[in-house]
Structure 1
């Protein structure tokens, strides 16, 4: 979110986006207690919009309310992580399939640009993760199905609970770049079946690294 766009948004939305970004980037980790006063001071926002943001994140399932502790960032168990990636594989495969049917050259060019940006920022965990997130959001839009986009965006919020990024592994930005490129090539050729297969392979690769990261 740019400073200019933040100036035109309700304070509750600003607080929500700041808290969500902090969770996505691993600045606030699962199990962390979220206190209104500390969040307000951290982001220079009054307590009322922070309270609204906390309630919204609880509704999203990212925060849970624990007796005597208040709001805490939810921690996912091993089974929940597996389930997240399983449903993500299905949804992203479908998104790539639809994109192969609908994508314009401009949309394909955007995917290519974001993929290059991800590779360029491979040495910066925050920047590479952000470029990767933008790539996948662009893929969702290219699918041109509002209900699928809503489902994927909701899933993306849940993925924020994983903390960190699998792109931090040596060589992963390069392999993810090639996997993205395969998806793009299949979309450009209009091969829906192959685009689906490529997207599913990409998510399974990320899942294997995520399980490894959890073990460590």
Structure 2
């Protein structure tokens, strides 16, 4: 029972620290110790250590002997590579879908979410970010290759720290609805080349936007910390 409680606590701490990194409360190159985190959350060091090592394995933290833990800098080269991998995986899904005799019913659910009138659209950043992830993973899932879906989910997790920023502006939310609807219309019409063109343009625009916003938010967060 004690081990179960410790694992649950480690999971909670992991989620909280990860969110602080995502929110730029913990900035790249910020340093801290296990004791500082344990004191802040009023818990023992054991679940803190478990959570921190998990974040290290996922690429968010580094640990140095006698110097404690450090938030890793955003590696935009790696992020760009992950966006390129997204294009490959989602393009493969589109190819597979267009080759099917009957399109999966799962696509109908995506249409009901994205091919809607402006007054029916979601506007809250976190909600739209989650819906966007579900849209892209939904396309891959509908294609029916479980290994492609597994890798796609791993890529999604790795870029979530910046990708959600794409929805911090109302204009990008509106553009995302329009772009997703266009992709779905082309896919339903079995226009493979049009679907791929729209998908590639959509992902590339997202990559450009999140890079600009990430740099801007990092700069603003550093100014707040220094004030």
TM-score interval w.r.t. the shorter chain? 0.7 to 0.9
CA spacing shift, 1:70–1:209, aligned 2, 3 Å: same
CA contact (8 A) 1:186 1:194 kept: yes
Which piece of structure 1 moves more, 21-30 or 54-63?
A: 21-30
C-alpha distance in structure 1 between counterparts of 2:95 and 2:23, whole Å: 29
Unaligned stretches of 5+ in structure 1? 1-6
Q: Note closer, same or farther for the CA distance 1:178–1:48 as it changes in structure 2 (3 Å cut).
A: same
Measure, in 2, the Cα distance between the counterparts of 1:53 and 1:117: 43
1:196 — aligned with what? 196
Q: 8 Å contact 1:23–1:160 — kept in the other structure?
A: no
- Which aligned pairs between 1:161-176 and structure 2 lie closer than 5 A? 161-162=161-162, 165-176=165-176
Q: Report the aligned-residue RMSD.
A: 3.5
Residue 132 of structure 2: aligned partner: 132
Paired residues of 1:96 and 1:199 also in contact (CA < 8 A): no
- Higher RCO structure (Cα 8 Å, ≥6 apart): 1
Q: How does 1:1-216 map to 2 (within 5 A)?
A: 11=8, 12-24=10-22, 28-33=26-31, 35-36=33-34, 47-101=45-99, 103-105=103-105, 107-115=106-114, 120-122=121-123, 124-162=124-162, 165-216=165-216
Distance 1:52 1:215, change over 3 A: closer
User: Which deviations, in whole Å up to 9, do the C-alpha atoms of 1:130-172 show, x marking residues without a partner?
Assistant: 2222222322322321221122111122213437512223411
Query: How far has the Cα of 1:209 moved from its partner?
Result: 1.4
The 8 Å contact of residues 163 and 206 in structure 2, kept in 1 or not, is answered as no
Deviates more, 1:177-186 or 1:14-23: 14-23
Answer with 189-198 or 25-34: which moved more: 25-34
TM-superposition CA deviations, 1:28-54 (whole Å, max 9, x none): 554444654565677787643443232
Q: C-alpha separation between the residues in 1 aligned to 2:42 and 2:131?
A: 27
- Helix, strand or coil for the counterpart of 2:74? coil
Compute the displacement of 1:22 (Å).
4.9
Find the structure with the greater CA-based Rg: 2
Q: CA deviation at 1:213?
A: 2.2
CA distance change for structure 1 residues 41 and 98 in 2, over 3 Å: closer, same or farther? farther
Q: 1:33-83 CA distances to partner (integer Å, 9 max, x unpaired)?
A: 465456567778764344323222212222222454433332224433332
Structure 1 contact 29–73 (Cα < 8 Å) conserved:
yes
Q: 1:65 to 1:177 in 2, by over 3 A?
A: same
SS of 1:190's partner is coil
Q: How many residue pairs align between the two structures? A: 207
- Are residues 191 and 64 of structure 1, via their aligned partners in 2, closer, same or farther at CA, if it must alter by over 3 Å? farther
Give yes or no for contact 1:128–1:167 (8 Å, CA) kept in 2.
yes
